[in-house]
Amino acid sequence: MMILPKFHLMRPRSLTDALKGLAEYPGALPVAGGTDLLVSMKHGLFHPTHLVELKGVDELKRKEINDNGAWLGASLRLSQLRDDPAVQQRYPALSEAAGLVASPSLQNRGTLGGNVCLDTRCWYYNQSAFWRHSRGYCLKREGTICQAAPGSKRCYATFSSDTVPALIALRAGLKTARVYEGALQERELPLEDFFVDDGIRRNRLSPGELVVGVGLPPAEDVRSGFRKYRQRASIDYPLVSVAVALRLRDGRFHDVRVVVGALASAPILAQETMEVLEGSIPSPPLLERAAELVTKGSKPVRNQAASPAHRRHMARVLCRRLLADLADTTAARASGALAHVSRQ
Amino acid sequence: MSREFQWIGKALPRVDGVAKLTGEARYTDDLQLPGMLVGKILRSPHAHARIRSIDTSRAEALEGVKAVATGPDAPVQYGILPVAEDEYPLAIDKVRFVGDEVAAVAAIDEATAVRALSLIDVDYEILPPIFDPWEALTREDVKIHEESKVANIERKVSLTFGDVEAGFAAAAYVREDTFFKAAASHAPIEPHSALAQYRDKKLTLWTATQVPHYVHRALAKVLRMPAEQIRVIKPALGGGFGGKGEPFPLEFAACVLARKSGRPVKITYTREEVFLTHRGRHPMHMKVKTGVGKDGTITALHFESLLDGGAHGSYGVVTLYYSGQLLTAPYVVPAYQFDGARVYTNKPPCGAQRGHGGVQPRFAFEVHLDRIATDLGIDPVEIRLRNAVQPNTRTVNELRITSCGFKECLERSSRALSWTERRGKLPRGRGIGIAGGFYVSGAALPIYFNPMPHSNVRIEADRSGRVTVFCGASDIGQGSDTMLALVAAETIGIPPELVRVISADTDTTPVDLGSYSSRVTFMAGNACRIAAQEVRGRVLAAVAEVYEVPVDQLEIRDRMVPVPGNEEKPLTFAAAVALAEARGGPVSGSGGYTPPKLAGSYRGGGVGPSPAYSFGAYAAEVEVDEETGEITVQRLAAAHDLGLALNPPAAEGQIEGATVMGLGETLWEDHAFLDRGQHASPSLLEYKVPTALDVPDIEAILVESVDPEGPYGAKEVGEGSLHPSIPAVVNAVYDAVGIWMHEVPITPESVLKALRKRGRP
């Protein structure tokens, strides 16, 4: 088996102590479920001097869902989001997405904060030290060229979180905190502004800064859903994913949000699709046209098993099918209930 | 059998089931010895290179490092086949694939061992690699093995049986197709692991192997030690499927390091190393040409195969022969020509994997046969029934067919999916398909020539009533220990829980050749039955003598030996054993199984013959999403003629497991490499073995033809059960959406491509 490199484990009991720990040691990283980080450490991709374990920080486990919206702490387990009746009822896209991350056992360990901060992924990056040494290192770690797109100056590693597209569709706001020069700094921003389309940098988190939780606006009349394309019915990361949230009022789409995951190094808010749908009456040609636009501007590279063209094709299919399900009340309910067992 | 079975045919829980479920079972990596060191292997980062020099001095100087080994520490070639001994435990002069073993270290802990590997300096001269088998077939300026006479060809085979030309001339219709089956790997849940101890000039190796006997022989040869000073023990084992079916570098390296350091050394592979060790399914390019009469009767068959063997021989020569030899049934082929070649490439070696050699050609032929049936307007079940091989016949290449339930397999699997009512009549996007297959119950010839039995069993009973079976057979999860307990219990007449099985330990158990070729139930089962009959005979003879009753009036039943005229004082089995022990010392019996002489009369006629063949026919139901290209297999009715089900749930488990493995190869698994030789998916995340959610309903249908030579009529069930699973699905896809897939795995993209092509005028 692969061995975990040595590190100091810190086990703070409060958010302040956790942030102080992260501020004090520049080589420290936070760890919650560890389902992403520990594997990468075994691969030699991260060498933290300290791991700040967030398990004992109760402030990060708060969950509040009511008519005014929701607050979801960063340490909530994905299975809690999957199973919470209030999440299922008000924010089905999030419940579906959480239930499609990896497998049930990993959903029991992985957390919301971890999934929001999930590292970008690539064939040439998520490999053992031996493999990368053999192949040649890449831009994202230790190398000077992109192995997936050798002419490129940037890294194309793929944004792979399942919950984030759902959260962005649901208009989530992100709250972060850090201790900087001894003082607590907090900031809030729309979740879509957190991400950067750069496989290396991937988000705007500063050193020592921690995701504290996610806020959601009221879900009144909002219909939402999440679809994921992967090879097998479990375990796999997305080859592409689509999240949609909208209202259906007077027979027309309103407040439409469509987000595509796993086609770039950041989630994509599909503006043109949203514009076409906004205020329109659902019809098969409309959904078809809207879905066609969902991949506009995305240029994934071949850095995993399926071809970029097929991933884009699947984004359009999933988008149209999801919109059709959400436009149809009865179908929307059924698809939500079946999301855990369906392949997409 | 005149008497009714007491235990056979009923559900018997595995003898190791509770220990495995509770975690109590000890696998090789669970073992700890005092002072044990951790071993690690340095691997080549290059696909093809000459080693100019290796400097291990920095690694040796590292604190905590106790021994370092390189090729010259064991400069003796070995290989599972005597005709292909082309491997060294650690590379000498050359490396031939990314991951080839170069050096090994033993250190006080894993971190030190890993660090030591980074301190070994290897000076490589990079050589051009060959990854494409077609290139390997002709390229002369690059030799992966210097010994290859022509290009990089390991072996070429041409066999002809009957008058092929006349057969094609007589055909009313001739069709030719090409196919490709990608590589697959075994992906057992337990990685390879070996623990070596060298003490008082004696070597003990605990290792996760399917073949303790071959490992024993190879160690003696490579380590230049007398075999009687070496002991090989196989602890509980977590799956092999062919991937643990030959000696491996970690076994030699652990021994060499233990001998050098004087301390026990354990090496356990990472998952990536398991994939690099490979020995899985050969990628195979195939061409099939068949002539048939108007009614679909086969008149001639010509099959060509090109096997991409990877860097070493492994089992490959056998794979090559099997690829041709196993196409002459389950359909009668009156004239047959086979041309095949296996080439070396700079990739991890391919070898034997469940269904060895026959899986790829079976996929090709069954799809090809469906195309012929479609061309001629014959129902796919009907064309198979018309050509079905009959019991007690010989195939054109001299395979002796005895028991054969193929027709019943076809009838029962097709009926399970209501074939007649539904084939060709389901709504668009849904379809059903069928395919057949057959496989050996062990090879009639041993891997190395010798006149001894292929399987030996010794059984001892003592006055407590305890019966112990000793056998070299390797339980690799398939349940052979349970099978031995069952056969011994049934034969003696005692409950299986009275039987203990000690297996796969070269110091205490008699030789069995190993768990491969689906041979253990048939061969060890027969040996066990003979040994148990002797024990039974000795016990009953003693009772007959003491009670002065004819021995043929005695039997052993329910732990008792009822004696006519002595009903008021019942005699227990234990007391009966005591009577025998008092008369002649320890009560034991031994049995050996040697297959009948079945080799063909031609060169190459040693691969293919088996004392019995299993047969199978699977019907699959699929749904194809024409927009996404995704295939969902909904049901599989898997009928398999296993002779007789000794333990039905175990047999059903084998069929289900093999079917799932076949499904993985049909839809997902592709053991591929990047353009510079790196493994494309060296993890269970990226190598797509089906998950529980991907598995359809499987109905295992046990067809019992009762083999005249099998133990109680049993034949193989673990490997042949994979064969029909791939083409049944491919043929169902045609029924669903009208496309023929000639390459597996079938990706959604390839389905969409085929649909577009079909759509064009």
List strands edge to edge, sheet with A8-10: A8-10, A50-53, A28-31
The whole-chain average pLDDT of chain A stands at: 94
Nearest chain B CA: its distance from A269 CA (Å):
23
Residue B344 has pLDDT above 80, yes or no: yes
pLDDT digits (tens, 9 = 90+) for A180-190: 999 999 999 99
Model confidence at A2, pLDDT cuts 50, 70, 90, reads confident
Chain B: nearest CA to A273, how far in angstroms? 20
pLDDT band at residue A343, thresholds of 50, 70 and 90?
Answer: very low
Interface of B with A in 80-99 (CB under 8 A): 98
Which H or E run contains B658? Answer: helix B648-667
* Contacts with B101 from chain A: Cβ below 8 Å: none
Is B688–A6 a contact, with Cβ atoms under 8 angstroms apart?
Answer: no
Please give, rounded to a whole number of angstroms, the shortest distance from the CA of B542 to a CA of chain A.
56
Picking from B628, B690, B691, the nearest residue to A317 by CB comes out as: B628
- How large a percentage of chain B has pLDDT more than 90? 98
B626 has a chain A CB within 8 A of its CB: no
A144 and chain B in contact, CB less than 8 A: no
Q: For residue range B244-301, what is the model confidence (pLDDT) as tens digits?
A: 999 999 999 999 999 999 999 999 999 999 999 999 999 999 999 999 999 999 999 9
Q: Is the pLDDT of residue B669 over 80?
A: yes
The percent of residues above 70 in pLDDT, for chain A, comes to 95
pLDDT, residue B759, reads: 74
Residue A295 tokens, joined:
């991949």
**Which amino acid is residue B328, in one-letter code?**
T
pLDDT digits (tens, 9 = 90+) for B356-369: 999 999 999 999 99
Which chain B residues contact residue A231 at CB under 8 A? 668, 688
> B55 touching A, CB under 8 A?
no
Taking CB atoms and an 8 Å cutoff, what residues of chain B touch A127? Answer: 682
Interface A:B, Cβ pairs < 8 A? 70
- Reading across the β-sheet that carries B284-292, which strands appear in turn? B153-161, B336-343, B298-308, B284-292, B173-181, B743-744
Name the band, by pLDDT with cuts 50, 70 and 90, for residue A51.
Answer: very high
Is it the case that residue A342 has pLDDT exceeding 50? no
Interface touch A305/B749, C-beta < 8 Å: no
pLDDT-derived band at A336 (thresholds 50, 70, 90) equals very low
**pLDDT reading at A135 higher than 90:** yes
pLDDT-derived band of residue A238, with 50, 70 and 90 as boundaries? very high
Distance CA B394, CA B598 (A): 11
Average of pLDDT values for B299-317? 98
Q: What's the pLDDT at A305?
A: 82
Tell me the nearest-neighbour CA distance from A43 into chain B, angstroms: 11
Q: How confident is the model at residue B3 (pLDDT cuts 50, 70, 90)?
A: low
A132: closest CA of chain B, how far (Å): 9
Say whether residue A341 is in contact with chain B using an 8 A CB cutoff.
yes
CA proximity to B174, closest of B267, B288, B269, B255 = B288
Backbone angles phi, psi at B674, to 5 degrees: -75, 175
A233 closest CB neighbour out of B677, B682, B693: B693
Tell me what pLDDT residue B292 has.
98
pLDDT-based confidence at residue B758 (cuts at 50, 70, 90): confident
pTM: 0.96
Residues of A in contact with B693 (CB under 8 A): 232-234, 341
Mean pLDDT over the full length of chain B? 97
Q: How confident is the model at residue B558 (pLDDT cuts 50, 70, 90)?
A: confident
pLDDT above 70: residue A259: yes
Phi, psi of B208 (to 5 degrees): -80, 85
The pair of structure tokens assigned to B166 is 């006349």
Judging contacts by C-beta atoms under 8 Å, the chain A residues touching residue B668 are 231-232
Q: Are B658 and B719 in contact (CB under 8 A)?
A: yes
pLDDT at B450 over 70: yes
Of the listed ranges A24-28, A337-341, B520-524, B644-648, the least confidently predicted one is: A337-341
B628 in contact with A, Cβ within 8 Å: yes
Q: What is the mean pLDDT of residues B751-755?
A: 98
Task: Give first-to-last CA distance, chain A, whole Å.
Answer: 32
The answer to whether A131 contacts B682, with C-beta atoms less than 8 Å apart, is yes
* pLDDT of B550 higher than 90: yes
Q: Give B-chain residues touching A313 at CB under 8 angstroms.
A: 752
Q: Per-residue confidence at A329, pLDDT binned at 50, 70, 90?
A: low
Which chain A residues touch B679 with a CB distance below 8 Å?
131
Using CA atoms, how far apart are residues B539 and B544, in angstroms rounded to an integer? 9
Mutate: best of B266, B683, B752, partner A, most A CBs <10 A: B683
- Chain B contacts in chain A segment 91-120 (CB below 8 A): 103
pLDDT digits (tens, 9 = 90+) for A56-94: 999 999 999 999 999 999 999 999 999 999 999 999 999
Looking at residue B1, its pLDDT comes to 41
